[in-house]
Chain A
Amino acid sequence: MTTKKKRTPHSQNDRWVVVAADSAVETPKKDDSDPTFIRLRNPSTGNAASLYLLGSGDVQLYEVKAFKEDFHSWFIGQTVQRDGRLLYVTPMDPLYLLLPYLIKAGEEGKFQPVDQVVMDEDFPACTRLLSCTRSQTSLHHVAEEKEVGSQKFQRYSQERTMEWLKKKVHRTVKTLRKSNISVGEGVKSTTYVRVKQESETQEEDYLRYAHGLISEYISEDLSKALLKHLQLPELSSPKEVEPPSKKRKLTDKPLEAGEDYTKFNSSDFSRKPPKKMSAAQKTLAKVDKTGMKSMSAFFSPKGKAEKK
């Protein structure tokens, strides 16, 4: 009765269900450009591109996240939409996206005008980030600035960046507390009332959680540096240590137990001569075994067998 159901690949959509801030979809004032989706280098993954949205006139940056779970579809008006995703367009600090470019330029140690720094062959749209209102005014959070004449020059500063990120973490902690988000290791039920109040030690949980969230927007190196700056010890997950191989080495010598305690208990310990082989065993031993695999070869991991 049950037939196999085939999953056809998702066809191209020209419609999405989006939750967005009013400011993101505002109609442009004249001369301004429409809000546009752009692909930019994701600061945490480095090379992969993610989708962002620039509000009209490139004034505000938004990140695009999708709620996606299996087995969802939409009924929209009189139609069905197969794509059951719910997109969120939420405001984002453009500094996160500018930071990788500043860091890269900072390696030279020179003061440079920012529009010379923010350039990307793969993602030419990144220059548009500089038109965001927040970009120019907040560069001092992550860079030292010099003003020569009417022109500004910047140089990446790790200390400033750390302070800036630390502030971000603390603000995130505040928000996490306010929104009652469970940050502990264990799973908590909202309906379960605890007799004991949550203890103070939770502060570290909040800090770690917030650090993890901020790390979604910065490179791995920065994330590690930030962890140090927050004076949080790095959690060393117990590394999987391979248990010692239990395989016995094949030798021609007679086998002896690695630890034989009987040896020391009996005074008249004497090694027995190797057992005599039966007639059948003798004939078997005489068989030409060249080119034959040993029995154990069939049980060793495949990779090893192929190497031979």
Chain B
Amino acid sequence: MDLGEFEADNSVSCRLASAIPDVCKTEDCCLGIDEAGRGPVLGPMVYGICFCPVAKKEALKDLKVADSKTLTEAQREDLFRKLDEAKSFVGWALQILSPNTISTSMLQRSKYNLNALSHDAAIGLVQFALDSGVQLKEVFVDTVGPAEKYQEKLSQRFPGVEVTVRPKADSLFPIVSAASICAKVARDHSVKDWNFPEDLGEVDADYGSGYPNDPKTKAWLLKELDPVFGYPQFVRFSWSTTQTLLDSKAVTVHWDDDEEDGEKAAARQNNTSMLSYFKTGSKTSAQQGNTHQTHRFFTERRLQSLATL
């Protein structure tokens, strides 16, 4: 699998796709969606779709695609090669969501959670297939979150396509298994030789599986922590594993959308307590003590005089 396009800039989201088989543009097709790398703290999350004519479902079974989790890495590579060779009737497309994309989405001001991110990646890929002329009739999806809700969302988004959302879809429908293999292989490749864009010198490549409970991953995270910057973009900052480590080991950083305790934050912002409005007398005495009010030219520009350096 050629991940060159993603590796050129692994800080963003990237789409890779096979050529669209001609039969898929004329015959009714089924499409499977699955994802790889949802849980790990390291590396990208990969969304994969696989599609083929409904009539060719049996041919897919002959390839013996099965749930990627039950296969060894070598078997997966082998199966992906076979899928890629069956380009006369099988097509695939991938959406690689870089760890940086995941971090920035989940940690931005208006939070964009992993489920929404996943759903949108899946929708984007289905739309891509439709835009490429694939005659979609059936879509099978392994669920993210409650299956009924997800199915309803996808059905509404794609009227005219029969959407089936099932937990464990990757072991039920071969086309989903195929998608899961594509996604998993892409994730494995990208993680194996992660190209660190940061100038880090020699980085220890022994980070294990990338799952938070992997001792190797844990040790790596402890070792690679920079007190100011935290981690390279390879790490998902939005994971609680990362945040716990940053909170305890790194320098504290305050953002203006940090949630602080109500009263403390209010005091810092010079807000007056609600109670003070009900008091008589005491309110004005505090204000009278400091009659000088800086002109708004300065306050609006956040300029203040200094007493000391």
Q: Which 5 A-B pairs have the closest CB atoms?
A: A51-B306, A71-B256, A212-B295, A50-B305, A65-B303
Given known A-B contacts A1-B240, A212-B296, A242-B280, A51 and B309 have beta carbons under 8 A apart: yes
Question: Quick check: A39 and B301 within 8 Å, CB to CB?
Answer: no
In the complex, A198 has a CB within 8 A of chain B: no
**What residues on B are CB-neighbors of A303 within 8 Å?**
281-282
Q: Tell me which residues from 255 to 290 in chain B have a Cβ below 8 Å from any Cβ of chain A.
A: 255-256, 258-261, 268, 279-282, 284
- Name the residue among B261, B295, B306, B308 with the largest chain A CB count within 10 angstroms: B306
Alpha-carbon distance between A303 and B91 when the two chains are bound, in angstroms:
80
B residues with a Cβ closer than 8 A to A are 228, 240, 243-244, 247, 252, 254-256, 258-261, 268, 279-282, 284, 291-292, 294-298, 301-309
- A67-B280 in contact (CB<8A): no
A contacts with B: majority SS: loop
Question: Do A1 and B243 have beta carbons less than 8 Å apart?
Answer: yes
Whether A67 and B268, one on each chain, are in contact in the complex, defined by CB atoms closer than 8 angstroms, is no
For A66, give its contact among B260, B295, B304 (CB under 8 Å): B304
A residues near B301, Cβ cutoff 8 Å:
67
**A80 close to B228 (CB less than 8 A):** yes
User: Residue of A at shortest CB range from B295?
Assistant: A212
Cβ–Cβ < 8 Å partners of A212 in chain B: 295-297
Task: State which residues 189-236 of A face B: CB under 8 Å.
Answer: 209, 212-213, 215-216, 220
Q: Which residues of A are interface residues toward B (Cβ below 8 A)?
A: 1-8, 13, 16, 37, 39, 42, 44-45, 48-51, 63-71, 80, 87-88, 181, 209, 212-213, 215-216, 220, 240, 242, 301, 303
**Residue contact B306 to A65, C-beta cutoff 8 Å:** yes
With A39-B307, A45-B292, A48-B307 already in contact, the answer to whether A2 and B259 are too (CB < 8 A) is yes
Closest residue on chain B to residue A79 by CB atoms: B228
Inter-chain contact A49/B295, CB cutoff 8 Å: no
- Whether A65 contacts B298 by the Cβ 8 Å rule is yes
Please give me the residue from chain A that is nearest to B260 by CB atom. Answer: A5
The answer on a CB contact under 8 Å between B309 and A216 is no
Tell me, in angstroms, the Cα distance from A16 to B22 when the chains sit together.
66
Query: B247 and A3: CB pair below 8 A?
Result: yes
